[in-house]
């Protein structure tokens, strides 16, 4: 079993969490954790976010000509 300290919302503090026996075959890498104090379950996982690219060229506003600029 894998153990680590994490914040438990139910206990309102940092508690020891452990991986219960995994029925899915993850072994020590199981994303399910349970608080050893109260039994609250957590699912810890990672994911990748891919940024969407613009469909066309990015347009930027044209700068005002130097003689037309004004102080704020």
Q: Which carries the bigger pLDDT value, residue 27 or residue 71?
A: 27
Domain coverage including residue 5 = 1-47
pLDDT greater than 70 at residue 64 = no
In terms of pLDDT, which residue wins out, 35 or 54?
A: 35
Which comes out higher in pLDDT, residue 19 or 54? 19
Whether pTM exceeds 0.85:
no
**19-41 burial by CB neighbour count: b if 16+ within 10 A, else e?**
beeeeeeeeeebebbbbeeeeee
The whole-number average pLDDT for the span 9-32 is: 87
Number of domain units in the chain = 1
Indicate the pLDDT class of residue 68, thresholds 50, 70 and 90.
low
55, part of any domain = no
Does residue 58 belong to any structural domain of this protein?
no
């Amino acid at each position: 079993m894998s153990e680590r300290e994490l914040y438990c919302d139910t206990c309102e503090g940092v508690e020891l969490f452990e991986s219960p026996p995994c029925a899915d075959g993850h072994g020590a890498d199981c994303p399910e954790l349970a608080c050893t104090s109260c039994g609250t379950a957590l699912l810890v996982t990672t994911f990748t976010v891919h940024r969407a690219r613009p469909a066309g060229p990015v347009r930027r506003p044209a700068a005002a000509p130097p003689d037309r600029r004004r102080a704020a």
